[in-house]
Amino acid sequence: VKFMDILFTLSQNCPVVCILDQMSSQVEPEVLLEKVGNAGVITMNRPKVLNALNMTMIRQIYPQLKKWENDKETDVVIIKGAGGKAFCAGGDIRAVTEAGKVGDSLAEDFFREEYILNNAIGVCKKPYIALIDGITMGGGVGLSVHGRFRVATEKTMFAMPETAIGKTVRPYRVSSMVRRGGREGGGGTLVGPKIKNLGIPDLEKELLDLKSPSVDDISKVLDSFQNQSSLDSEKPFVLEKHISDIDRLFSSSSVEGIVQNLKADGSEFANKQAETLSKMSPTSLKITYRQLKEGATLSLADVLVMEYRLSQACMRGCDFYEGVRAVLVDKDQSPKWSPSTLEEVSDQMVDQCFSSLGDKDLTL
């Protein structure tokens, strides 16, 4: 936290409107930080890698966000991705994996500073609007769901695929993104493919044109765009017909119980879910199950402390490295998990992952 505070202090005396290297104009900045009228606009600018989040980006976004939060002439913060394909496809997992293999501090620093940024977004005093247009996964979820407003489009593909690479998911507010359309009470959330007809550029322009907007002013603009778009208005939520099955099949006191429910049911839907779970890291599944249970009643700050502990447990284990190898490096899609079955993952092993890291715990 001290390092991040130093960055913030430096930014007070070093205006950051756009992080550009004037001496090397051929090198595209990885993140654009611009002041447009009374709005601070963050643009993740790595379209060739689907705007994957790296440490450089985190260390540029955090101090600027804190500066805008305390700037009387900044009324709102908007974050988006460049390129039209992705908002942010997650963290730079390959770099973190390589660091973890050789004991480099990046394996600790990346997650620590990412979660500090996530918390800053969650407690930001200025309205924070994430334009989630395109692929949004992992670290991209952290940059969007914790803010006050989240806008999805017909191109939004939202996913938390961490258990497929031996990691854990983020429990806080993720469930809210499953709901279709409208605004979730108290969360200021606009969810669903509703902005196609008018377009994100039109929406962004209206938001930028607002003068000293209140939360209600922003809500009215989002509502007006939703009301004017008829895209898929008659289509039911894609999982609507399965909601009762999900509640029934996934209501169990253990992951093993869930798997048993799915296999006993025998329906096409249940079989598909059982097959999906069978490919995931057994350790990650058990950790994630407990994480979702405990995280449901925790504050964002407490969830991030828990998640940092889990991130470091993953870095100490072997499934994370094996998952990255199988899915992202060799792409054989055949990870060799260890332990290889749910029954081999003991409660004691799971407990250890949630244990305090002492003076290395995340401090917010």
- The fold of 3-228 is 2-enoyl-CoA Hydratase; Chain A, domain 1 (3.90.226)
**Chain-centre distance of CA 92, in angstroms?**
13
Per-residue pLDDT band for 192 (boundaries 50, 70, 90) equals very low
Instruction: Work out the pLDDT band at 164, boundaries 50, 70, 90.
Output: confident
The residues spanned by each domain of the chain are 3-228, 242-360
Return the pLDDT at 5.
Answer: 53
Q: How many CA atoms lie within 13 A of 185 on its CB side?
A: 0
Q: Position of tokens 């006050």?
A: 148
Give the percent of the chain with pLDDT over 70: 82
Specify the pairing of strand 86-88 against strand 76-81.
unpaired
d(CA 342, CA 285): 8
Which of 189-193, 307-311, 333-337 bottoms out in mean pLDDT, i.e. has the lowest?
Answer: 189-193
Long-range contacts of the stretch 14-17 (C-beta < 8 A, 24+): 16/60, 16/63, 16/64, 16/67
The CA dihedral of 54, 55, 60, 63, to the nearest 10 degrees, is 130
The length of the chain in residues reads 364
* Tokens 């609507």, residue located: 240
pLDDT of residue 157: 85
As a whole number of angstroms, the distance between CA 130 and CA 151 comes to: 6
Q: Would you state the pLDDT for residue 177?
A: 42
Tell me the pLDDT tens digit for each residue of 81-101.
999 999 999 999 899 999 999
Cβ neighbours of 129 (radius 10 Å): 27
Strand bridging mode 135-137 / 149-152: unpaired
Rounded mean pLDDT, 28-49: 97
